[in-house]
Structure 1
Amino acid sequence: MISIQSQVVFGHVGNSAALFPMQAAGLEMAAIPTVIFSNTPNYPTQRGRALPPEFFSDLLQGARERGLPGRADFILTGYIGSLDVALMVADFVAEAKAVNPGLTYLCDPVMGDTGPGLYVPEAIADVMRDRLLPMANIATPNPFELSWLAKRKVATTWDLETARQVLRFAPEAQLITTGCVLEDTAPG
């Protein structure tokens, strides 16, 4: 599995959360960070930054040289902190899917949430909507992200299906909306 997402020194998000359970499940993991931060953003300070594009590109090249796109069963993408890196991720996923048609791509468009709103630049969110989601076999947006991506409110089960139709998912792709409490969600 190739996991392309954030990494933190303190906390459990992105690769810092995914690596251990995936390895414990017996999966061989190639964790490629998009950003390295000191901690999750719910603290008064946060240090670190997005990987410089040339450094990130070098890591992707190393993954290619090890033949990872052709050997991986899965690619997972999550938080991306710069437009240059977002574009490289989209190119890498497209290349991997071309080399390895059996590859499953899980796109978690980590870009915002109810309350803080969009917390990546709109250009990165556009890359997620226009380039990454159309390649996804599985997409896992939260309700805020799905609403933003589909440009419509998601408040009911019907809205989920409507949003799916608006977005350019492959017909066989699975949409799993995470953290979903809708107006028509049954009590309990």
Structure 2
Amino acid sequence: MKNVLSIQSHVVFGHAGNSAAVFPMRRLGVNVWPLNTVQFSNHTQYGHWSGSAIDAGQMVELVEGIGAIGVLPRCDAVLSGYLGTPDQAQAVIDVVRAVKAGNPHARYFCDPVMGTLNTTGGIPGSGCRVEPGIQEFLVTHMPEVADAMMPNHSELQRLVGRELETAEEAVDACRELIARGPKLILVKHLLDRNSPADAFNMMVVSEREAWLAQRPLYPFARQPVGVGDITSAIFVARLMLGDTLRRAFEHTLAAVNAVVKTTYDAGRYELEIVAAQDQIARPREWFDAWTVDLV
């Protein structure tokens, strides 16, 4: 069984960070070692929350504790998401180095959560609040460290320092990032001016492949939080289970669609991850990906 060290936030109520990511990975048959960067009462889009970030040094100590009992070589991947402080970002790099020292074949998947407070370019603002300095660290340092990165459209633009309007421009941006280190880029939500207004686009790009696919965009009155977290988690799990890049991408899109559709049909704000668990493993609807033609 594959083991993933998941370094993300935790909320007591609802689904965001590890509270969204851990269950889907386990449901798919991947073992997860959760390391919580923060513990909040609820996610920050509610406008009120309580809790705090853990000390960055403690993150490293916890992983050293895993190493002390001799199991760190069994870690197959590190997935990082929401970080509470810039020091935690450096701690993630230290953790990744420790994991790879124990298992040189381990892979680091970076979900570069930078926060989106406004609705721009058609992307509903997530309301995710990220401390100053974290974005700069992610942009400057993480591409050289990560084996894969999983930004949304806004985060991809910040990683390459320019606006992107089409799928072709996004592929170019992904390949620019790949030249800095990662072997693949999953764009969890892609805006394309040529795409239908009611379509939700995703893209995955490697050095030789570029796949694009769409699912329905559901008209929530208030967009649920945590969709990006389950997207990254399912994608990592499917790759760990041995899927090809296209198969992992298509399964991720289909499974996330099932969760979002179940949530929308139920009239809920928090993601209905447990209710949709069977479709996380075996989605009923499938969305075929196609290659992006570059001029």
Q: TM-score range by the shorter chain?
A: 0.7 to 0.9
From 3, 7, 12, the counterpart of 2:6: 3
- Answering whether residue 149 of structure 2 is matched by residue 139 of structure 1, we say yes
- Answering whether residue 95 of structure 2 is matched by residue 92 of structure 1, we say yes
Moved more, 53-62 or 101-110: 53-62
Q: CA deviation at 1:21?
A: 1.7
The AA in structure 2 aligned to 1:176 is L
- Answering whether residue 34 of structure 2 is matched by residue 31 of structure 1, we say yes
CA contact (8 A) 1:136 1:169 kept: no
The AA in structure 2 aligned to 1:90 is I
From 63, 68, 74, the counterpart of 2:66: 63
What does residue 75 of structure 1 align with?
78
The AA in structure 2 aligned to 1:120 is V
Equivalent residue runs for 1:114-129 within 5 Å: 115=118, 119-129=129-139
Percent of residue pairs bearing the same amino acid type: 35
What does residue 24 of structure 2 align with?
21
CA contact (8 A) 2:9 2:36 kept: yes
State the aligned residue count: 187
- Answering whether residue 153 of structure 2 is matched by residue 150 of structure 1, we say no
- Report SS of the residue matched to 1:144: helix
The AA in structure 2 aligned to 1:156 is T
Can you list the C-alpha shifts for 1:135-183, whole angstroms capped at 9, x where unaligned? 2222110011111111111221122133224435426x11111121311
Q: CA deviation at 1:66?
A: 3.4
CA contact (8 A) 1:90 1:131 kept: no
Unaligned runs of 5+ in 2: 119-124, 200-295
The AA in structure 2 aligned to 1:125 is Q
CA contact (8 A) 1:79 1:109 kept: yes
> TM (normalized to structure 1)?
0.87
The AA in structure 1 aligned to 2:146 is A
> TM (normalized to structure 2)?
0.58
CA contact (8 A) 1:113 1:142 kept: no
- Answering whether residue 173 of structure 2 is matched by residue 170 of structure 1, we say no
CA contact (8 A) 1:5 1:35 kept: yes
What does residue 52 of structure 2 align with?
49
- Report SS of the residue matched to 1:19: helix
What does residue 243 of structure 2 align with?
none
The AA in structure 2 aligned to 1:5 is Q
Supply the distance in 1 between the matched residues of 2:133 and 2:73 (Cα, whole angstroms).
29
C-alpha distance 151-122 of structure 1, shift in aligned 2 (>3 A): farther
Unaligned runs of 5+ in 1: none
The AA in structure 2 aligned to 1:182 is D
Supply the distance in 2 between the matched residues of 1:183 and 1:59 (Cα, whole angstroms).
45
Q: CA deviation at 1:60?
A: 2.4
